[in-house]
């Protein structure tokens, strides 16, 4: 596998023309999003993938900024030859609404006051973030995304996309996340927020023009959060109980252990790149995230149309696999096409940012998986319900087919007639097509995977499925013979 980079990239900015109505009912105007793109959008605009970042991420998902010491945060997945192959796909990543890396948030200048918003910035939700991203996709003139993908808070966004805009993507990859924040997750976020709020230099959010800022509070918030991103195993492997730059315990409150020094380093590094108020707003958005309806996740996810890949991490205790399997069960209850994988890793929650091999394998397989659209026959012969048995037999004989979809004048599927049905009609002396055709037709969509429809055919013991759009208009047909031919070529 090639492991090339997308090279040097620049962050762009998009400003939403109209006001954005938020979940809270507040109106936010003059909203801008920072974003980056990698690869080329094809002429049909069918190869776009939206990447959603995690809690403290940004638009810089891949490639290099000039003078930077590190590439984008998902460099291991984005680029030529990687899972998010920029030779195939057009990758988009934006800094979320409320962020502090170029998008409108509490650290942005409020045009009405000429000062930073600070706590005048309205409370936002994951849904608001997604609605702002939708405006960006509209601006790029993309009618339908090939896929939306994200991990952690990015996974929440990806899942929210499937609920808010079910017709806007073919696939979604939801990684190391939940469909509704648990009390424990909310508790960790609240402790982090309180560490900021209780910092004497937070000054009720008004610190932007001050010499002293709430660095200590933000650093502690990061230290608390970072513990949840690791696993007990990974901490033992990396640190054990090893001492930091000393031979024996100090018996005071200085740093003794390597793990202590590591957490302090994480906190100190974080305050150099992130805004304290932004941390308050984004963690609150995560706390509010709940896609259930009246307590039912099955009800909340029932409108999803995308094919979904769910990925959890076996050592993740922040968003444990049980919460991903809860999403899986709800999707299956709604007969939504879904696949589940679990990363085997000692890294804990952060595995989706570190497990290069497993992540590339799972994502590339899911994106390149054959779908019905790849195999189905189009421009197939059809028949009206007003036709005779003889007319149906003549079409089957002339076109060398054994299945004839029965459609209305507008091409809407209303039934199917088979060669077996015609044989029965001759035995019974029937000439009325409506008496022999099957009305309760099993059908599929062009975006269904071959694996899924193969299971459906086996389940119902049928050899052919009409392919229809969302309005039941016939688009084509797929048979077991075509699937067998595909398998034989592997």
Task: State the angle between helix axes of 126-139 and 153-164 in degrees (0 to 180), rounded to the nearest 10.
Answer: 70
CA distance 291 to 177: 12
- Active-site residue flag, 440: no
Task: Give the single-character DSSP code of 122.
Answer: P
Dihedral of the alpha carbons of 253, 259, 265, 266, in degrees to the nearest 10: -120
Six-digit token pair at 285?
A: 């958005």
Dihedral of the alpha carbons of 145, 17, 9, 309, in degrees to the nearest 10: -20
Residue 462 near residue 442 (C-beta atoms within 8 A): yes
Active-site entry in 53, 60, 339, 349? 349
Active-site entry in 152, 321, 425, 449? 152
CA distance 78 to 5: 8
CA 6 distance to own-chain centroid: 22
Residue 340 near residue 330 (C-beta atoms within 8 A): no
For residue 109, what are the CA distances in angstroms to 115, 240, 272? 5, 45, 20
Burial class (CB in 10 A: 0-12, 13-18, 19+), 204: exposed
Degrees to nearest 5, angle at CA 157 with 219 and 222: 5
- Active-site residue flag, 152: yes
CA distance 94 to 48: 13
Six-digit token pair at 490?
A: 């592997």
Quickly tell me which residue has 């930077």 as its tokens: 68
Spell out the residues 6+ positions from residue 285 whose beta carbon is closer than 8 angstroms to its own: 98, 123, 124, 125, 126, 128, 129
Six-digit token pair at 78?
A: 């984005």
Which residue(s) pair with 464 in the sheet? 479
Query: What three-state secondary structure class fits 441?
Result: coil
Burial class (CB in 10 A: 0-12, 13-18, 19+), 2: exposed
For residue 233, what are the CA distances in angstroms to 184, 188, 194, 225, 359? 21, 20, 28, 17, 20
Spell out the residues 6+ positions from residue 237 whose beta carbon is closer than 8 angstroms to its own: 346
- Active-site residue flag, 85: no
Q: What are phi and psi of 44, to 5 degrees?
A: -85, -5
Among 164, 193, 5, 177, residue whose Cα is nearest residue 87: 5
Residues classed as catalytic: 152, 316, 349
């Amino acid at each position: 596998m090639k492991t090339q980079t997308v090279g040097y990239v620049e962050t762009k900015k998009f400003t939403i023309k109209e006001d954005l109505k938020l979940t809270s009912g507040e109106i936010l105007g003059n909203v801008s999003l920072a974003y980056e793109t990698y690869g080329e959008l094809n002429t049909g605009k069918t190869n776009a993938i939206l990447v959603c970042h995690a809690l403290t991420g940004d638009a810089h998902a891949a490639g290099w900024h000039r003078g930077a010491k590190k590439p984008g945060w998902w460099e291991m997945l984005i680029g030529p030859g990687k899972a998010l192959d920029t030779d195939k796909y057009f990758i988009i990543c934006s800094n979320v609404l409320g962020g502090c890396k170029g998008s409108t948030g509490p650290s942005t200048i409020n045009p009405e006051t000429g000062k930073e918003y600070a706590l005048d910035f309205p409370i936002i939700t994951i849904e608001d973030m997604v609605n702002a991203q939708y405006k960006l996709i509209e601006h790029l003139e993309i009618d339908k995304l090939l896929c939306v993908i994200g991990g952690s808070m990015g996974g929440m966004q990806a899942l929210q996309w499937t609920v808010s805009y079910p017709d806007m993507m073919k696939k979604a990859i939801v990684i190391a996340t939940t469909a509704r924040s648990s009390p424990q997750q909310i508790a960790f976020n609240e402790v982090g927020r309180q560490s900021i709020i209780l910092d004497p230099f937070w000054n009720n959010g008004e610190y932007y023009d001050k010499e002293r800022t709430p660095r200590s509070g933000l650093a502690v918030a990061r230290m608390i959060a970072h513990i949840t991103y690791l696993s007990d195993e990974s901490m033992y492997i990396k640190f054990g109980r090893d001492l930091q730059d000393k031979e024996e315990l100090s018996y005071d409150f200085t740093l003794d252990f390597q793990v202590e020094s590591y957490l302090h380093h994480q906190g100190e590094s974080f305050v150099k790149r992130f805004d304290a108020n932004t941390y308050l707003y984004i963690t609150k958005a995560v706390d509010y995230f709940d896609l259930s309806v009246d307590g039912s996740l099955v009800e909340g996810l029932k409108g999803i149309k995308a094919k979904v890949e769910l990925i959890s991490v076996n050592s993740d205790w922040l968003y444990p696999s049980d919460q991903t399997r809860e999403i899986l069960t709800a999707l299956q209850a709604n007969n939504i096409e879904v696949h589940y994988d679990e990363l085997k890793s000692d890294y804990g929650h952060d595995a989706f940012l570190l497990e290069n091999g497993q992540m590339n394998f799972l994502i590339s397989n899911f994106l390149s998986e054959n779908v019905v659209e790849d195999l189905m026959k189009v421009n197939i012969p059809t028949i009206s319900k007003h036709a005779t048995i003889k007319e149906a037999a003549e079409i089957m004989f002339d076109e060398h087919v054994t299945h004839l979809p029965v459609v209305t004048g507008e091409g809407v599927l209303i039934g199917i007639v088979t060669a077996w049905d015609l044989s029965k009609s001759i035995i019974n002396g029937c000439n009325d097509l409506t008496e022999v055709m099957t009305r309760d037709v099993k059908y599929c969509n062009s975006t269904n995977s071959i694996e899924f429809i193969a299971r459906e055919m086996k389940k119902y013991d049928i050899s052919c499925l009409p392919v229809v759009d969302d309005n039941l208009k016939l688009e084509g047909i797929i048979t077991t013979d075509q699937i067998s031919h595909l398998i034989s070529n592997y």
